[in-house]
A = this chain, B = another copy of it.
Amino acid sequence: MSIDKKLYRSGPYKDLFAQGVQVGNVLYLSGQVGVDDKGKAGEDLTAQTTLAYASIKRVLSEFGAGMENIVDETFFVTNMTEFMGSVEGVYTARAEAYGGTPEVSQTVVQVVALVQPDLKIEIKCVAQL
């Protein structure tokens, strides 16, 4: 059963998966992490959050979408104590990315590790167009 997908591929793993996949009005994004254009991780949780949302915005823009299209977020963090201690910085960075109060559901869990050892947060989003 063939379906009509729109894909956005980017980065070193572009042959393995897409950063975003749209079918109809739903857009799934790959989990985005806090690295800069050279792949260097942000120095702390707040910096990584800012970088992750910059990546999310870049993916959304490829589909003509913006932060207002996000409906659901999952935060995979590697240290809940650090996350709770940085919660003001993290949520300020997030509010700046959204340009106000996010209109999304959210789930936060601590995992053991992300795809690089220096990563502290990965944000997986679903958007609706």
Contact = CB atoms under 8 A, between A and B. Distances in A.
A69 B3 contact: yes
The quantity of this chain's copies bound in the complex is 3
Given A1-B65, A109-B76, A18 B115 contact: no
Contact of A1 (B18, B29, B69): B69
A71 B21 contact: yes
A66 B108 CA distance: 24
Interface residues of A, number: 53
Given A1-B129, A3-B128, A91-B16, A114 B109 contact: yes
Contacts of A80: 112-115
Interface of A: 1-3, 5, 7, 15-21, 23-26, 28-31, 64-66, 68-69, 71-74, 76, 80, 84, 91, 101-115, 122, 124, 126, 128-129
